[in-house]
């Protein structure tokens, strides 16, 4: 039955919920006539009927092609990922049958827009559920069409939006610091260096130093920008390019910083879980996910060293941990997994932390620094109070072998009306790996970048 022109059907997006307009398809005498565009997510051919699940990024819709429509050449040879237009009537599914959003489109007309290959080149042969990870990364552009990979991208979008919302609610100003810089923040070993019109320059490791310079004109500030690290190790939580959520707070104490961190993280989780569609995706991806309860467990570095030794967890040289050791990834992970709650690990020793961190006035061996550790992932946040005394900062440059000249603009903060201030950086991909229960941060990136991979 082809009745195009009888009524001009409304073009609707698929799915239901926050992103799509409701279609009144359940009127008692007839379904609503609509026109939809999408790609074939799945198809199932039966003797007289062709079931097509159409996908348009907004949602999924089961479409039923019957009679002569199901016998056309295009219908008989229909392949997954083919893009098409379908018109028809939207009905509730009959009792006992199942379809996305409990509805289906009874097609009366369709047009193929772009055919997708079948046979060896069919998407199902290119992208196998349990395929080898490198092949799947080469085919990332196709993998993203799958429900699971796409769901992580939807959660990612919601989480990023929630951070913006939370900072907006707190009246923080957003700034956009440069990615091309001539200073380092987190040590020379992970700097990506490049030639900038014959000058040496780097891809930024963190926007922190620039954020600090925004405090005098903006008060509290934040940014969500890319950071780059030339990490020379292949781990499940290190990327070369990642999204860094960073904030800087003026006229605060270290305790204010810790409380703020808890507030931001819990609020972002609330904002994200309040969206039914995203909430369902998170729980499908990670059924165990729960918002942590406040206050978070707080633990001093020195106590963590004792804890590790009490639990027989050795350092990288397989010796008991000593005060001053960097707690390696494996030990940190074991501790967090045993504690099984988020931990604010604080007061790390001066030599293992960044040059700009303030010392604890009560114990000059340690800094007012914090890492937030999460079970299953490890460190997702690093933050600290920043030195605000000019002389102390000059000393720190010297101690760390950093030439102060390129940092004049950072140092000037201490000359023109200094203030006690602090901030932090949160790795968005690690936050997502936690929420979405992903084994590696690579699966939380649109297109991951890490040692050995810069394509597609």
Q: How far is CA 140 from CA 127, 137, 196, 315, in A?
A: 9, 5, 31, 37
**Judged by CB under 6 A, does residue 239 bind ligand 4AD?**
yes
**Judged by CB under 6 A, does residue 368 bind ligand 4AD?**
no
User: What are the φ and ψ backbone dihedral angles of 94, each rounded to 5 degrees?
Assistant: -65, 155
Nearer to ligand 4AD, 84 or 211 (CB): 211
Segment 71 to 100, residues that bind ligand 4AD, using CB under 6 A: none
Nearer to ligand 4AD, 65 or 381 (CB): 381
**Judged by CB under 6 A, does residue 383 bind ligand 4AD?**
yes
453 bridge partner residues? 450
The contact pattern for ligand 4AD, residues 99-138, with x = CB under 6 A and - = no contact, is ----------------------------------------
Size of the site for ligand 4AD (CB under 6 A): 24
Nearer to ligand 4AD, 89 or 186 (CB): 186
**Judged by CB under 6 A, does residue 382 bind ligand 4AD?**
yes
Nearer to ligand 4AD, 3 or 176 (CB): 176
Helix (H, G, I), strand (E, B) or coil at 341: coil
Nearer to ligand 4AD, 15 or 382 (CB): 382
Nearest to 330 by CA among 346, 344, 317, 341: 317
Are 272 and 291 in contact by the 8 Å Cβ rule? The answer is no
The contact pattern for ligand 4AD, residues 198-237, with x = CB under 6 A and - = no contact, is --------x-x--------------------x-x------
Nearer to ligand 4AD, 101 or 246 (CB): 246
**Judged by CB under 6 A, does residue 238 bind ligand 4AD?**
yes
Place of tokens 């699971």: 148
34 bridge partner residues? 10, 88
**Judged by CB under 6 A, does residue 379 bind ligand 4AD?**
yes
Nearest to 4 by CA among 157, 162, 111: 111
Task: Please give the Cα distance from 223 to 219 (Å, whole number).
Answer: 13
DSSP-derived secondary structure for 275-338: SHHHHHHHHHH-TT--PPPSSPEEEEHHHHHHHHHHTT---TTSS---TT----HHHHHHHHHH
Segment 402 to 431, residues that bind ligand 4AD, using CB under 6 A: 423-427, 429-430
Helix (H, G, I), strand (E, B) or coil at 364: strand
Of 250-258, 284-292, 374-382, 392-400, which part binds ligand 4AD (CB under 6 A)? 374-382
Nearer to ligand 4AD, 39 or 229 (CB): 229
Task: Please give the Cα distance from 413 to 250 (Å, whole number).
Answer: 12
Q: Which tokens in the block code for residue 332?
A: 């940190």
Smallest gap from residue 170 Cβ to ligand 4AD (A): 16
Nearer to ligand 4AD, 194 or 311 (CB): 194
Handedness of CA 396, 400, 404, 407 (dihedral sign): negative
Nearer to ligand 4AD, 238 or 333 (CB): 238
**Judged by CB under 6 A, does residue 185 bind ligand 4AD?**
yes
Pairing of strands 378-386, 369-374: antiparallel
Instruction: List contacts with ligand 4AD (CB under 6 A).
Output: 185-186, 206, 208, 229, 231, 238-239, 242, 244, 246, 379-383, 423-427, 429-430, 441
């Amino acid at each position: 039955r082809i009745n195009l022109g009888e009524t001009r059907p409304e073009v609707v997006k698929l799915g239901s919920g926050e992103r799509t307009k409701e279609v009144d398809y359940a009127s008692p005498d007839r379904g609503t006539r609509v026109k939809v565009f999408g790609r074939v997510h799945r198809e199932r051919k039966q003797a007289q009927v062709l079931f097509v699940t159409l996908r348009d990024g907004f949602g999924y819709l089961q479409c039923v092609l019957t009679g002569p429509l199901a016998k056309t050449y295009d219908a008989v040879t229909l392949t997954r990922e083919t893009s098409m237009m379908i018109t028809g009537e939207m009905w509730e599914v009959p009792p006992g049958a199942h379809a996305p959003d409990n509805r289906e489109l009874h097609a009366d007309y369709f047009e193929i827009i772009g055919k997708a290959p079948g046979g060896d080149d069919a998407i199902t042969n290119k992208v196998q559920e349990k395929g080898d990870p490198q092949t799947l990364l080469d085919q990332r552009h196709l993998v993203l069409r799958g429900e699971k990979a796409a769901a992580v991208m939807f959660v990612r979008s919601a989480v990023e939006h929630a951070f913006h919302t939370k900072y907006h609610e707190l009246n923080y100003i957003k700034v956009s610091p440069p990615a091309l810089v001539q200073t380092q923040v987190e040590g020379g070993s992970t700097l990506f260096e490049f030639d900038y019109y014959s000058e040496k320059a780097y891809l930024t490791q963190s926007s922190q130093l620039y954020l600090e310079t925004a405090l005098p004109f903006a008060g509290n500030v934040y940014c969500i920008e890319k950071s780059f690290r030339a990490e020379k190790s292949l781990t499940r939580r290190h990327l070369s390019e990642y999204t860094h959520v960073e904030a800087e707070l003026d006229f605060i104490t270290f305790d204010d910083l810790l409380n703020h961190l808890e507030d931001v993280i819990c609020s972002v989780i609330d904002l994200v879980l309040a969206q039914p569609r995203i909430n369902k995706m998170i729980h499908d991806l990670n059924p165990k996910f729960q918002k942590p309860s406040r206050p978070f467990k707080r633990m001093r570095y020195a106590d963590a060293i004792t804890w590790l030794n009490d639990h027989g967890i050795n350092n990288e040289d397989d010796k008991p941990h000593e005060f001053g050791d960097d707690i390696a990834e494996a030990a940190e992970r074991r501790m967090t997994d045993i504690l099984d709650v988020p931990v604010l690990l604080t007061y790390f020793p001066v030599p293992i932390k960044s040059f700009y961190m303030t010392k604890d006035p009560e114990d000059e061996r340690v800094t007012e620094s914090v890492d937030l550790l999460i079970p299953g992932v490890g460190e997702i946040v690093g933050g600290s109070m920043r030195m605000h005394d000019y002389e102390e900062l000059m000393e720190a440059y010297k101690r760390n072998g950093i030439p102060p000249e390129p940092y004049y603009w950072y140092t000037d903060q201490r000359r023109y009306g200094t203030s006690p201030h602090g901030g932090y950086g949160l790795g968005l991909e690690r936050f997502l790996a936690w929420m979405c229960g992903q084994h590696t941060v690579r699966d939380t990136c649109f297109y991951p970048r890490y040692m050995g991979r810069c394509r597609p």
